[in-house]
Amino acid sequence: MCGIAGAFLRGAGSRAELESVVTGMTCAIEHRGPDDSGVFIDERAGLSLGFRRLSIIDLSPAGHQPMQSASGRYVLIYNGEVYNYEAVRAELERAGAMSWRGHSDTEVMLAAIERWGLDGALSRFIGMFAMALWDRAEQTLHLVRDRLGVKPLYYSFAGNAVLFASELKAIEAHPRFRGEIDRDVVGLYARYSYIPAPYTIYRDTWKLPPGCVLSIKPGDARPEPRAYWDLQEVAPRAIASRFRGGDDEALDALDALVADAVRLRMVADVPLGVFLSGGIDSSLIAAAMQAQNSSPVKTFSIGFHESLYDEAQYAAAVARHLGTAHTELYVTPREAQDVIPLLPRMYDEPFADSSQIPTYLVSKLARQSVTVSLSGDGGDELFGGYHRYFLGQKLLRGVARVPRALRPPAGAALRAVPVWMWNRLLSPESRIMPRALRRDRAGERLHKFARAMNDRSDDALYHEIVTQWSSVVPGARPLPIAITARAARAPIADTIERMMFFDQLSYLPDDILVKVDRASMAVSLEAREPLLDHRLVEFAWSLPLSMKIRDGKGKWILRKLLTRYVPEALIERPKMGFGLPIDQWLRGPLRGWAEELLDPRRLRQDGFFDATEVRTKWDEHLGGRGEWQQPLWTILMFQAWRAERRASADGTALPAAAATAIG
Give the distance from CA 560 to its chain's centroid: 27
Amino acid residing at 521: M
Residue 451 has pLDDT above 90, yes or no: no
* Average pLDDT for 619-644: 93
Residue 77 has pLDDT above 50, yes or no: yes
Among 194-208, 271-285, 445-459, 621-635, the least confident range: 445-459
Q: How confident is the model at residue 526 (pLDDT cuts 50, 70, 90)?
A: very high
Give the residues across from 52 on adjacent strands. Answer: 3, 37
Q: How confident is the model at residue 520 (pLDDT cuts 50, 70, 90)?
A: very high
Question: Helix (H, G, I), strand (E, B), or coil: what is residue 649?
Answer: helix
Write out pLDDT tens, residues 493-507: 888 999 999 999 999
Q: What is the pLDDT of residue 1?
A: 58
- Which H/E stretch holds residue 493? none
Q: How confident is the model at residue 658 (pLDDT cuts 50, 70, 90)?
A: very low
Q: What is the pLDDT of residue 321?
A: 96
Q: What is the pLDDT of residue 429?
A: 64
Distances (CA, A) of 590 to 68, 564, 582, 633: 51, 44, 9, 11
Q: What is the pLDDT of residue 444?
A: 67
Q: What is the pLDDT of residue 576?
A: 57
* Those residues with Cβ within 8 angstroms of residue 65's Cβ, 6 or more apart along the chain or in another chain: 2, 38, 51, 53, 76, 77, 78, 106
Better pLDDT: 261 or 661: 261
| Residue 503 DSSP class | I
d(CA 631, CA 594): 13
d(CA 627, CA 326): 36
Among 153-167, 626-640, 641-655, the least confident range: 641-655
d(CA 286, CA 292): 10
Better pLDDT: 225 or 460: 225
Cα dihedral 63, 66, 71, 73 in deg (nearest 10): 160
* Those residues with Cβ within 8 angstroms of residue 453's Cβ, 6 or more apart along the chain or in another chain: 399, 402, 407, 408, 410, 411
* Average pLDDT for 321-338: 93
Q: What is the pLDDT of residue 312?
A: 87
d(CA 184, CA 146): 27
Among 311-320, 332-341, 555-564, 646-655, the least confident range: 646-655
Share of the chain above pLDDT 70, in %: 86
Give the distance from CA 449 to its chain's centroid: 27
Question: Helix (H, G, I), strand (E, B), or coil: what is residue 144?
Answer: strand
The answer to whether the peptide bond before residue 418 is cis (omega within 30 degrees of 0) is no
- Quick check: 95 and 111 in contact, CB under 8 A? no
Write out pLDDT tens, residues 383-438: 999 988 877 667 666 766 777 667 677 767 766 777 667 666 666 666 565 555 54
d(CA 521, CA 517): 6
d(CA 410, CA 39): 63
Chain length of the chain: 663
| Nearest CA-CA partner of 526 in 150, 118, 36, 58 | 150
Question: Helix (H, G, I), strand (E, B), or coil: what is residue 423?
Answer: helix
| Nearest CA-CA partner of 166 in 194, 130, 142 | 130
Q: What is the pLDDT of residue 435?
A: 55
Q: What is the pLDDT of residue 301?
A: 95
Question: What DSSP letter does each residue of 168-181 carry, written as one string?
Answer: HHHHHTSTT----B
- Quick check: 58 and 86 in contact, CB under 8 A? no
pTM as predicted? 0.91
d(CA 209, CA 380): 21
Q: How confident is the model at residue 241 (pLDDT cuts 50, 70, 90)?
A: very high
Neighbour-count burial of 256, counting CB atoms closer than 10 A to its CB (0-12 exposed, 13-18 middle, 19+ buried): exposed
Q: Point out the residues that are catalytic.
A: 2
* Average pLDDT for 535-539: 98
Q: What is the pLDDT of residue 663?
A: 39
- Residue 550's φ and ψ, nearest 5 degrees, are -150, 140
The answer to whether the peptide bond before residue 236 is cis (omega within 30 degrees of 0) is no
Q: How confident is the model at residue 300 (pLDDT cuts 50, 70, 90)?
A: very high
What is the residue-averaged pLDDT of the chain? 89
Q: Give the dihedral sign, CA 527/530/535/541.
A: negative
Question: Helix (H, G, I), strand (E, B), or coil: what is residue 442?
Answer: helix
| Residue 120 DSSP class | H
- Quick check: 128 and 528 in contact, CB under 8 A? yes
The answer to whether the peptide bond before residue 478 is cis (omega within 30 degrees of 0) is no
Share of the chain above pLDDT 90, in %: 69
Residue 660 has pLDDT above 80, yes or no: no
* Average pLDDT for 36-41: 91
What value, to the nearest 5°, has the Cα angle with vertex 365 and ends 361 and 370? 135
* Average pLDDT for 180-202: 97
Q: What is the pLDDT of residue 2?
A: 86
- E-only strand ranges, 137-242: 140-145, 154-158, 161-165, 205-207, 212-216, 226-227
Q: What is the pLDDT of residue 431?
A: 58
d(CA 625, CA 610): 20
* Those residues with Cβ within 8 angstroms of residue 256's Cβ, 6 or more apart along the chain or in another chain: none
Residue 458 has pLDDT above 70, yes or no: no
Amino acid residing at 256: A
Better pLDDT: 399 or 183: 183
d(CA 280, CA 315): 10
Domains and CATH numbers, the chain: 2-229 (3.60.20.10), 233-384+501-570 (3.40.50.620), 387-470+478-495 (no CATH), 582-662 (no CATH)
| Nearest CA-CA partner of 164 in 29, 43, 56 | 29
Burial 144-155 (b: 16+ CB within 10 A, else e): bbbbbbbbbbbb
d(CA 603, CA 596): 10
